[in-house]
A and B are shown apart, each in its own frame.
Chain A
Amino acid sequence: MRIFRRRRSKRKFRLTREGRAFLLVTLGVGLAAVNTANNLLYLVLGLLLSLLLVSGVLSDLALWRLQIKRRLPTRMFAGKRSLIEVALLNEKRWLSSISVEIIDELDGVESQPARFVRVAPGQTKVTNYGFEAKRRGTVELGTMRVLTRYPFGLIEKGYTIFVPDELIVYPGLLEHIATPSIRPMHGDAAPMHRTGRGSEFAGSVRFYREGDEARDIHWKRTASRGELVVREHEQDSSALVTLTVDNVLRSGVDEAAWRERFESTISEVATVASAYLAQGVSVQVQTSDHVSPLVTGGTPPDPIWRFLALLDSVRAEAPSRGRKYKRRAA
């Protein structure tokens, strides 16, 4: 069993397609030189081999003293392409790192390469690669391969670094969904005036918090204060919706069909929850064995999405009933 994992692997190299062709030509020239005893062919052979050697050394230099950081997006939804940022710091004093490629590993699958054409000495550059998670849940990020084919594209040299991280993929949201209207139950009081996502601007502002929507930024105030400031809204009602998701997989059901239905239910619930929260309605999700945190209306739906992202099925005897909406007074 491997107890200790090296943070950085040894350098490895392989010949690229051009490199293989180049090697083939070199061998051909070598054969021709031996066959003809033509010294000029020996000279060309020496040049070709020197190019390979120099190429190997230079690619090492390009990979020397690099620091790599990965920046994950704050939200990622299943079935939707997101960008993962990679920052590269060239710590060398004199030499630029040219043509460096970083390939990430997400759940054991290699990502698209993040390419850096030139990073000057002492500079940090940020680039990104696109990633689309097929399913909700967690995605494990592990090793990152740092590669270069610089300077001649003949040799690909690289090493891997172990940068463990975890990314939570929220359920995919549906584009169009009707949210059942909320009617106050008997005995409800008049709407309480509290801040939250509603239709009217309450006139007050507060500092930006993660998850706030960009459209709520009050640019004038932001400019005058020098820090991001967002508008506060008045919450329309004090209603609360509990969304129930049946996550019990009963015996005797077609599991594949059930799972498909289960995933679509989760997407539906995630969409409905965000719609309610946007309307200022507080939302909570309940399953057979867990309850999500209560998210007050007007605030970002991330806790609900996170709960749904990690929700797993439970095996039981009785058949499932799908989802239902419950409504009660706040």
Chain B
Amino acid sequence: MRFAFAHKLVAYLFAGLGLSALMLGTTFSAIESLLVVGAFVASWFAEPPLLDRPGYSRFWNIAAVVFLVIQIARVIGGEATLTVGVQYAAFLQISRLSHRKTAADYQQIVILGFLHLIAGTVLSEGLDYAVVFFGFVVVMPWMLALTHLRRELENQYGANSPMLRGELESRQLATPAFFGGTTLLAVPLFILTAAMFFAFPRVGFGFLSSLGARTQSVAGFGDDVELGGFGTIRDDPTVVMRVKPKNRPNPPQQSISVRLRGTSFDRYGEGRWSRTQIAGEELRRLQDQYIVFRPPRPEDQEYEIILDPIEEAVLFLPEGTVALQVPPVMRSGRSRYRLITHAPGLDVRYGGRVHGPLTYKAFTTRKRRGFPERIPKALRKHYVEIPAGYERVASLAREVVQGASNPYVQAQQVERYLRGSGNFRYTLEQPNTEGKDPLHVFLFEAKAGHCEYFSTAMAIMMRSLGLPARNVTGFLGADYNPYGDYYAVRNGHAHSWVEVLIDGRWITFDPTPASGQVFASPSGFTVKLRQMMDAMRVRWAEYVVEYNIRDQAKALQRLAAWYRSLRGNRGAAQSNANRDSGDDQDFGPVPFRPDWRWFIAIMSVFGAAVLFVRWSRRRRRQTRAGRQLDPDRDRAVRLYLSLESSLRSAGHARPPDVTPTEHAEELGRSGFVAADDVREVTSAYLAARFGEDGLPPHEYHRLRHLSRGIRAKAKRPPIA
């Protein structure tokens, strides 16, 4: 590859990665992103001879000043400083790319790219940043090395000299070997970076931290929800949270029907559920455990939940949750516990900002008899409230319960009516409710809908029977991700059901037909790919974004334990490790089970690479010889190459304008100690290469041994 082209290409890769880091966050709108990409592509062509007008560089300098003034004005006008700054940073890179000429310009591209990478740390903490970062690890050595070489060339020949132009057009520097070598640099760079990352003591203050993670919007957990919202997200494969049940069966089930409760709504009217705003109370805390109903017990089922940041700071609780364990935020090396609040309606929310997925544990009781909840007076009436005009629904409810007086039986009959009577069908298609009440349309006309319609119908029907009921939103079901060993809850798992207050306890009823509750686990290549990506995202968040001094201490303890175990003191190590870890159940001996399949795979790849290199060298040699060599001639060529290598090491390399015979004679005249050997090998080479003589393998090995001995002979001091 021509040096100039290689440098340009690498510079664009580098700058592109930097701009990508800037565009990861939400600071760029779609149009702005398109503009940046367009300008980036256009700048590739903005170079002589296509664009070489006097004053072109001045135009960009003036444009930079003008744009700066505009951006300052925008900040004064109330625009977010970060947005404005990021836009200007992108403009500067585009400007620099559009009028690059010398090594100094390329250096500026490097500096701007670096700054973009650093800015990216504030804008995004997701896996997308990880991709950009690893791109930088690979491309950065290329970019820095090529820019340095260009600078050296300019120093040597002058910025505008024809010699420099010649060097820039030459293919001698940017060779495949150069790129191969600098690509290999990514390996030590990556290892060192990882080592330093894990070794730096995490004693950060946490001031002016990142902007927080980008949150995703999930319908159903805000202050109100409109009937029909869930249907549209049923096919959304975006993962919202991951669930790791403790003591899960092995092999794991492909999917589980865990019910994760989000929030509940008490008021219904005009096809919309809403929640009465009542300030939540702080949950009682014991260390990092938060008591919802009672402290956890050993017999409780434990779920570890990794929740992606969503707009609403809701904590999703598996059915029967009695307590939570939420890790503290580490700041300045100290633990700061999160504020967890509990509002009526079992609305459990967390306080503080999250920078990535929030990991917490939920402890659930195995007894599912509903849960008691103190209901404020102001709220009590809302749970039995029915909007005007729902007499037909009430009449239907009475008809369905058929005079049953037991509230639990009544609820079961309504549930069965909606779910299993065959009168209603689960569908994602939205019924046409224009100008009509959606619940009436669902119950008396369409008789089909999705979970929200079913849950709303049951809640209103129960209320019409005088039983307090509320609509609950959350997620139902999760699919196993084998790459991350967890169950992934997707947006499509969003669900709605009903809680009815019976004998002072809220009991869960789900009137949605089974077809609306059970979803086939998706499969196929794209699903596997998505699962892989999600597993990587979780690991990235766990090991990089959320890594703190606590993890660091644990890692050090593990390292120490492992070291002690290596020294044969395994028992002591185990006991020490257990003692050090306190009550941390995550901590245990470091498993070290070498996977021989990986070892064999790596060795096979390595072996194949060695064979390929040998084959390509042989081929190159034959190509250099200009024809396919017969075995004797091939051996002769290899023999002479070996001789040349030995002579080079001995400091008597053959100049390119001297023939092998002349060189052998010259060495003889100069009194070189191994001149006879050189002469013998040279004669054998010439006879086999150009004459009719053969070079049998044994003779080849003897002569090769002789030629290798030249190096040692030349280094041996002469005997006086």
Q: A152–B207 contact, CB under 8 A? A: no
Q: B197–A42 contact, CB under 8 A? A: yes
| Residue A182 interfacial (CB < 8 Å) | no
| Residue A311 interfacial (CB < 8 Å) | no
| Residue A115 interfacial (CB < 8 Å) | yes
Q: Which residues of B contact A115 (CB under 8 A)?
A: 152, 155-156
A43 to B137, CA, bound (A): 11
| Residue A249 interfacial (CB < 8 Å) | no
| Residue A46 interfacial (CB < 8 Å) | yes
Q: Quick one: closest A residue to B133, CB to CB? A: A43
| Residue A153 interfacial (CB < 8 Å) | yes
Q: A36–B207 contact, CB under 8 A? A: yes
Among the listed B118, B148, B204, B330, which residue makes an inter-chain contact with A44, where contact means beta carbons less than 8 Å apart?
B118
Q: Quick one: closest A residue to B194, CB to CB? A: A46
Q: B182–A124 contact, CB under 8 A? A: no
CB distance from A125 to the nearest CB of B (A): 12
Among the listed B111, B122, B203, B545, which residue makes an inter-chain contact with A39, where contact means beta carbons less than 8 Å apart?
B545
| Residue B193 interfacial (CB < 8 Å) | yes
Q: Which residues of A contact B153 (CB under 8 A)?
A: 117
Q: Which residues of B contact A307 (CB under 8 A)?
A: none
Q: A118–B173 contact, CB under 8 A? A: yes
| Residue A256 interfacial (CB < 8 Å) | no
Q: B649–A40 contact, CB under 8 A? A: no
| Residue B72 interfacial (CB < 8 Å) | no
Q: Quick one: closest B residue to A122, CB to CB? A: B648
Q: B210–A38 contact, CB under 8 A? A: yes
Among the listed A35, A45, A54, A117, which residue makes an inter-chain contact with B205, where contact means beta carbons less than 8 Å apart?
A35
CB distance from B587 to the nearest CB of A (A): 21
A39 to B330, CA, bound (A): 12
CB distance from B148 to the nearest CB of A (A): 4
Q: Which residues of B contact A43 (CB under 8 A)?
A: 121, 133, 193, 197, 544
Given contacts A89-B653, A117-B173, contact A34 B203 (CB under 8 A): yes
CB distance from A298 to the nearest CB of B (A): 31
The CB with the most chain B CB atoms within 10 A, among A37, A91, A93, A122, is that of A37
Q: A47–B136 contact, CB under 8 A? A: yes
Q: Quick one: closest A residue to B155, CB to CB? A: A115
| Residue A18 interfacial (CB < 8 Å) | yes
A21 to B206, CA, bound (A): 26
CB distance from B570 to the nearest CB of A (A): 32
Q: Which residues of A contact B648 (CB under 8 A)?
A: 89, 91, 122
Q: B209–A40 contact, CB under 8 A? A: no
Q: B210–A40 contact, CB under 8 A? A: yes
Among the listed B145, B189, B192, B204, which residue makes an inter-chain contact with A34, where contact means beta carbons less than 8 Å apart?
B204
Q: B148–A150 contact, CB under 8 A? A: yes
| Residue B312 interfacial (CB < 8 Å) | no
Residues 300-331 of B contacting A (Cβ, < 8 Å):
330-331
The interface bits of chain A over 40-71 (1 if a CB of B lies within 8 angstroms of the residue's CB, else 0) are 11111111011101100010000000010000
Q: B544–A40 contact, CB under 8 A? A: yes
Q: Quick one: closest A residue to B185, CB to CB? A: A54
| Residue A279 interfacial (CB < 8 Å) | no
Q: B196–A37 contact, CB under 8 A? A: no
| Residue B202 interfacial (CB < 8 Å) | yes
Q: B188–A40 contact, CB under 8 A? A: no
Given contacts A54-B185, A117-B156, contact A38 B196 (CB under 8 A): no
| Residue A99 interfacial (CB < 8 Å) | yes
| Residue A145 interfacial (CB < 8 Å) | no
Interface of B, helix, strand, loop or mixed by DSSP: helix
| Residue A27 interfacial (CB < 8 Å) | no
Q: Which residues of B contact A294 (CB under 8 A)?
A: none
Given contacts A39-B545, A67-B651, contact A99 B149 (CB under 8 A): yes
A128 to B205, CA, bound (A): 56
Among the listed A21, A46, A91, which residue makes an inter-chain contact with B649, where contact means beta carbons less than 8 Å apart?
A91
Q: A39–B145 contact, CB under 8 A? A: no
Q: A33–B200 contact, CB under 8 A? A: yes
A124 to B147, CA, bound (A): 25
Q: Which residues of A contact B293 (CB under 8 A)?
A: none
Q: B645–A38 contact, CB under 8 A? A: no
| Residue B675 interfacial (CB < 8 Å) | no
Among the listed B144, B182, B205, which residue makes an inter-chain contact with A153, where contact means beta carbons less than 8 Å apart?
B144
Q: A51–B145 contact, CB under 8 A? A: no
| Residue A29 interfacial (CB < 8 Å) | yes
Q: Which residues of A contact B202 (CB under 8 A)?
A: 37, 39, 42
Q: Quick one: closest B residue to A151, CB to CB? A: B145
Given contacts A34-B205, A37-B206, A91-B648, contact A99 B330 (CB under 8 A): no
Q: Which residues of A contact B173 (CB under 8 A)?
A: 117-118
CB distance from A99 to the nearest CB of B (A): 5
CB distance from B159 to the nearest CB of A (A): 15
Given contacts A91-B649, A153-B151, contact A36 B192 (CB under 8 A): no
Q: B136–A118 contact, CB under 8 A? A: no
Given contacts A35-B204, A91-B648, contact A41 B148 (CB under 8 A): no
| Residue B107 interfacial (CB < 8 Å) | yes
Given contacts A38-B121, A39-B545, A152-B145, contact A122 B152 (CB under 8 A): no
Q: A151–B204 contact, CB under 8 A? A: no
Q: Which residues of A contact B195 (CB under 8 A)?
A: 46
Q: B107–A150 contact, CB under 8 A? A: no
Q: B209–A47 contact, CB under 8 A? A: no
| Residue B114 interfacial (CB < 8 Å) | yes
Q: Which residues of A contact B203 (CB under 8 A)?
A: 34
Q: Quick one: closest B residue to A121, CB to CB? A: B648
Q: A152–B133 contact, CB under 8 A? A: no
Q: Which residues of B contact A40 (CB under 8 A)?
A: 120-121, 125, 129, 133, 210, 544-545
Q: Quick one: closest B residue to A43, CB to CB? A: B197
The interface bits of chain B over 127-156 (1 if a CB of A lies within 8 angstroms of the residue's CB, else 0) are 001000100110011001101110111011
Q: Which residues of A contact B634 (CB under 8 A)?
A: none
Q: A51–B209 contact, CB under 8 A? A: no
A322 to B142, CA, bound (A): 66
| Residue A197 interfacial (CB < 8 Å) | no
| Residue B92 interfacial (CB < 8 Å) | no
Q: Quick one: closest B residue to A21, CB to CB? A: B111
Q: Which residues of B contact A89 (CB under 8 A)?
A: 648, 651, 653
Q: B144–A51 contact, CB under 8 A? A: yes
| Residue B347 interfacial (CB < 8 Å) | no
CB distance from A286 to the nearest CB of B (A): 41
Q: Which residues of A contact B566 (CB under 8 A)?
A: none
Q: Which residues of A contact B149 (CB under 8 A)?
A: 98-99, 117
CB distance from A223 to the nearest CB of B (A): 15
Q: Which residues of B contact A50 (CB under 8 A)?
A: 188-189, 192-193, 196
Q: B204–A33 contact, CB under 8 A? A: yes
Q: Which residues of A contact B632 (CB under 8 A)?
A: none
Q: B197–A38 contact, CB under 8 A? A: no
Q: Which residues of B contact A42 (CB under 8 A)?
A: 197, 200, 202
| Residue B509 interfacial (CB < 8 Å) | no
Q: Which residues of A contact B204 (CB under 8 A)?
A: 33-38
Could you name 21 residue pairs across A and B whose Cβ atoms are closer than 8 Å?
A: A35-B208, A36-B207, A37-B330, A38-B122, A38-B210, A39-B125, A43-B133, A44-B133, A46-B196, A47-B140, A50-B189, A50-B192, A67-B651, A89-B651, A99-B148, A99-B152, A115-B152, A117-B167, A151-B148, A151-B185, A153-B152
Task: In the A-B complex, list the 10 residue pairs whose CB atoms are closest, starting with the nearest.
Answer: A37-B204, A46-B196, A50-B192, A40-B121, A153-B148, A152-B144, A46-B193, A46-B197, A37-B206, A151-B145
15 extra interface residue pairs, beta carbon distance < 8 Å, beyond A32-B118, A89-B648, A117-B156: A36-B206, A36-B207, A36-B210, A37-B205, A37-B330, A40-B120, A41-B118, A43-B193, A44-B121, A47-B137, A54-B192, A91-B649, A117-B173, A150-B148, A151-B144
